[in-house]
Amino acid sequence: MRPDSVFVRGLEFEANHGYTAAERRATRRFRLSIELRRPLAKASLTDRLSDTIDYRRVCELALEAATESTYKLLEALAGAIASALHSEFGEADLTIELEKLAPPCPGVPASCGVVITVPAS
């Protein structure tokens, strides 16, 4: 059985992340998907936002973390996003999938990325 979760899929943003200085000077597009796993039975009964994870807040925190600093590695960027989310939603297991769209790579891939999982505290 799949656990309950709140998710955000396909959140896109522009930022200056990349391994080379040239990549960091140019704005690039990124796509982010987030899943926070925790029981949602209470929210399903009460219909109260306070009994669940507010996905609007998830988006706000993720975008703040993704755009306030510059990172060379996708792993570091995903880790910063995960840390921001975990600080507010530490009761949930968290998975972040981060893609750099149209990365400067041979073969012209549509995207390259990383997946990071953080257990609940």
Domain count, the chain: 1
Please answer whether residues 85 and 120 qualify as being in contact, where contact means their C-beta atoms are separated by less than 8 angstroms.
no
Q: Tens digits of per-residue pLDDT, 38-69?
A: 999 999 999 999 999 999 999 999 999 999 99
What's the average model confidence in pLDDT over 106-114?
95
pTM: 0.93
- Give residue 2's pLDDT: 81
Task: Note the pLDDT of residue 22.
Answer: 86
- Residue 1 has a pLDDT of 76
- What per-residue confidence (pLDDT) applies to 44? 96
User: How far is residue 117's CA from residue 105's CA, in Å, rounded to a whole number?
Assistant: 26
State the CATH number of the domain containing residue 107: 3.30.1130.10
Domain range for 53 is 5-118
* pLDDT confidence of residue 48: 97
| Single-letter amino acid code for the residue at 19 | Y
Tokens of 54: 């507010």
